[in-house]
Structure 1
Amino acid sequence: MNPHLDKLQSYPFEKLRHLFASVTPNPAFSAISLGMGEPKHPTPPFIGQALCDNLAGLASYPTTQGSAALRGAIAGWLQRRYGIAPLDPATQVLPVNGSREALFALAQTVIDPAAQSLVISPNPFYQIYEGAAYLAGAEPYFVNSDPARNFGCDYDSVPAAVWERVALLFVCSPGNPTGATLSLTDWEHLFALSERYNFVIAADECYSEIYHGAQAPLGALQAAHMLGLASVEHPYARLVVFSSLSKRSNVPGMRSGFVAGDAAVLKKFLLYRTYHGGAMSPTVQAASVAAWNDETHVEENRAQYRAKFAAITPLIQGVLQVELPDAGFYLWADVSRTGLSDTEFAQRLYAEYNVTVLPGSFLARDAHGVNPGRNRIRMALVAEAAEGLEAARRIVQFCHSLSAS
């Protein structure tokens, strides 16, 4: 067996299953889950219709590179969304079966397993980053998010001796679970570090289209374009961006996303994926073209999230320490003032009110003397508004019962 598998922790939802194993939830309440970040808004009908209209694609083996139509649609969306110069669809864009699979696979592509490399990850983090590092033969190095920095990571705290071993840096903006976004200054700093120490940046941007202010989150390619790093001889050097239709278009079951950026990295990534077997079904490709070419459903989806957050966040703020995030569909709440740990809070809320939330410590690791997820919970506001409001009311009631006891 691959010895690196023994380094993997149980996935957060497996930990949650064990936490709840001995608990029988209160039957007076119907089950509401805020635990998993699975979009619950209806899939736009035109995407389903596009799938049905292209069932003939099921009779063909797909190419790993994907169709010219899909790569062109993705390149067009990137240009419209971020105001960047057109990418070359043939060399700078690659369709993938969801950003999760591609994030994992990139590490296997860029890491030399004999080099004792490090992979830098934010902490807390999307668990794929850690698994990808270990199974590529590298070690993760965690940089803790800091509430005082709007949950940004202090990359200046990373010693030079660490940077010298880094092969890959995972960045998640908007962040999971914090919702924090990177500024142009943040990106400029990361690009300078990448150039100095010659590591690849993997920018995970799957939450980019769900935001709560007037300004859309800054993307990595957009930042590089603004800083003049897209017009040099090697454009977007060492930068690969990941995005997905799952959250943007409410189609997590389609497993459709893309990577874009450095053509040299993507050339090697395509070679890896050719052997890995990562080709997307032609039927899904056709539906993906329709989705990337339409923004109306994205605006409507964003409006639904904004309405939910506007209604639910003030209710939660009455009992827990939490702020409206920059973007994404999570609330990242501090439960310290309840007197319960994050695991105790989640377990008792489930037992007494049949509401599931995810303990923050399950999403982070002990690093530099602290687990930055401890005493926090992640609430995914993915359900329809009525169900989300009901969950919020139960959480308020639960917290009031704690105060009264």
Structure 2
Amino acid sequence: MEFPERFSNLPAYAFPRLRDLLDVHEPGGPPVHMTIGEPKHAFPAWITDEIIANAAGFNSYPPNEGSAALRGAIADWVARRYGVALDAETEVMVLNGTREGLYNAAMALCPETKNGKVPIILCPNPFYQVYMIAAISVGAEARFVPATGQSGHLPDYASLPADVLNRTAIAYICSPANPQGAVATKTYWQDLIALAEQYDFKIFADECYSEIYRDTPPTGALEVAREMGADPDRVVIFHSLSKRSNLPGLRSGFIAGGAETIRRTKMLRAYAGTPLPTPLQAAAAKVWADEAHVIENRRLYGEKYVIADEILGNVPGYMSPEAGFFLWLPVEDGEQAALKLWKETGVRVLPGAYLSQDAGGENPGKGYIRVAMVAPKDEMARGLITLRDCLFA
């Protein structure tokens, strides 16, 4: 029996790989989970009532591209947050979480060739793993571009040679960045959009951490693109309620961009999409319309930033995140550090190399661990103190 070869050489996904590393050993203390970015703050208490009030919708097939009410609520949120007017009918589509959209947008929008050659999809390195799988699935070449301290923890796509940029069809960028917490400035977006206009590629802006920040809201890719007068289909944005509203299980996200972009993604989704159930769409519309719970969520993360800075501020190379809820901590070897921490203390973190690919003979995540600040703050503080005393004493 024949099977496809294109996925045969994939590394194990980060979390099964972590289980293989750690779970053959007993923890050195009560387990403290600081690996996965699964928000644990309370979601809006009234959301359950909204789902129940609309429960009759479970008896019907949901609208595949999202209900008019949900798309309207999303367009209203984008207008409030970024000052960008979107046509809810033609420029917004609902997703079953952003991962689906980040994958299927490449399926719908990546051309078979670029300037007569195999297209390239640019990925920051480290990166969210779906970017790589999307590239492989469409027969493109995934090109991993370091996002290290030297480049401000964001990829310097402009440094790539012209022959690479001439083959580039899509560039993924995550801001605020996972795992480093770096934020793309307006100037960064302007330079990247100008580069994309020059070499005619699309920007897929993964902005799912955009509402978790210290003081200043991160600049959005679409607001800069519209201000610059770029091609309406040049920039595609992806957002979610998972981090913004502590609702990873609701699976509510969206894609927004030019009308042709959304037309093509809708066409693919009509055949292969999994729509969000109607009662969940009704609840999501209410959640996108409410900011009070988001402000409170941001306040809680602000307290966690302060705690992390107090505990780890004297650690050599410590970088306090600009946004998001991850710490990207420098160590000699991330895998060895994670194993030592688990065996000696029970604190569980993710080796940075599991979020990166070897490129040019180096893995830019090898000397890091990623620590998720999602647990209640007292538990998080205990975990960080234990981590500091084990790895940096």
1:153 is matched with 155
- Of 308-317 and 59-68, deviating more is 308-317
1:35 is matched with 35
Aligned match for 2:337, one of 314, 326, 345: 345
SS in 2 for 1:285: helix
Give the deviation of 1:277 after TM superposition: 2.5
CA contact (8 A) 2:209 2:324 kept: yes
Distance 1:396 1:322 in 2: 11
SS in 2 for 1:286: helix
Distance 2:361 2:178 in 1: 22
1:20 is matched with 22
Give the deviation of 1:227 after TM superposition: 2.4
Distance 1:173 1:347 in 2: 29
CA contact (8 A) 2:158 2:195 kept: no
Distance 2:340 2:377 in 1: 24
Amino acid of the structure 1 residue aligned with 2:104: A
1:99 is matched with 98
Deviations 1:206-232 (A, max 9, x none): 0000001x2100001111233233xxx
CA contact (8 A) 2:337 2:391 kept: no
Distance 2:139 2:355 in 1: 22
Give the deviation of 1:146 after TM superposition: 2.4
Amino acid of the structure 2 residue aligned with 1:100: R
Amino acid of the structure 2 residue aligned with 1:395: L
1:175 aligns with 2:177: yes
SS in 2 for 1:202: strand
Give the deviation of 1:188 after TM superposition: 1.4
2:264 is matched with 268
CA contact (8 A) 2:154 2:177 kept: no
1:8 aligns with 2:10: yes
Distance 1:205 1:12 in 2: 21
TM-score by length of 2: 0.96
CA contact (8 A) 1:7 1:134 kept: no
1:237 aligns with 2:217: no
Deviations 1:155-190 (A, max 9, x none): 232111111111111010000001111112211121
Distance 1:160 1:222 in 2: 27
Give the deviation of 1:376 after TM superposition: 0.5
Distance 1:118 1:311 in 2: 41
Identity of aligned pairs, percent?
42
**Residues 371 and 193 (structure 1 numbering): CA distance in 2 closer, same or farther, change over 3 Å?**
same
Aligned match for 1:308, one of 282, 304, 311: 304
1:247 aligns with 2:243: yes
Amino acid of the structure 1 residue aligned with 2:50: A
2:290 is matched with 294
Amino acid of the structure 1 residue aligned with 2:62: P
Give the deviation of 1:321 after TM superposition: 2.3
Q: How does 1:131-210 map to 2 (within 5 A)?
A: 131-210=133-212
SS in 2 for 1:254: coil
1:218 is matched with 219
CA contact (8 A) 2:27 2:345 kept: yes
SS in 1 for 2:267: helix
SS in 2 for 1:326: coil
Q: How does 1:66-77 map to 2 (within 5 A)?
A: 66-77=66-77
Distance 2:276 2:391 in 1: 46
Distance 1:186 1:319 in 2: 29
SS in 2 for 1:297: helix
For the aligned residue pairs, the C-alpha RMSD in angstroms reads 1.4
Distance 2:74 2:23 in 1: 43
Mark the runs of 5 or more structure 2 residues left unpaired by the alignment.
none
Amino acid of the structure 2 residue aligned with 1:284: L
CA contact (8 A) 1:320 1:333 kept: no
Distance 1:228 1:109 in 2: 24
Distance 1:46 1:294 in 2: 11
Distance 2:218 2:272 in 1: 32
1:366 is matched with 358
Deviations 1:350-395 (A, max 9, x none): 1111001100111111113321111101001011101101101111
Amino acid of the structure 1 residue aligned with 2:48: G
Amino acid of the structure 2 residue aligned with 1:31: P
Distance 2:40 2:168 in 1: 37
CA contact (8 A) 1:210 1:248 kept: yes
**Residues 49 and 299 (structure 1 numbering): CA distance in 2 closer, same or farther, change over 3 Å?**
same
2:58 is matched with 58
CA contact (8 A) 2:158 2:192 kept: no
1:392 is matched with 384
Q: In the comparison of the two structures, how many residue pairs are matched?
A: 388
Mark the runs of 5 or more structure 1 residues left unpaired by the alignment.
none
1:383 aligns with 2:375: yes
CA contact (8 A) 2:93 2:256 kept: yes
CA contact (8 A) 2:311 2:384 kept: yes
Amino acid of the structure 1 residue aligned with 2:343: A
Give the deviation of 1:113 after TM superposition: 4.1
SS in 2 for 1:182: coil
Q: Runs ≥4 in structure 1, deviation > 6 angstroms?
A: none
1:323 aligns with 2:319: yes
Distance 2:357 2:86 in 1: 37
Deviations 1:88-121 (A, max 9, x none): 0000000100001110111111123465211000
CA contact (8 A) 1:8 1:134 kept: no
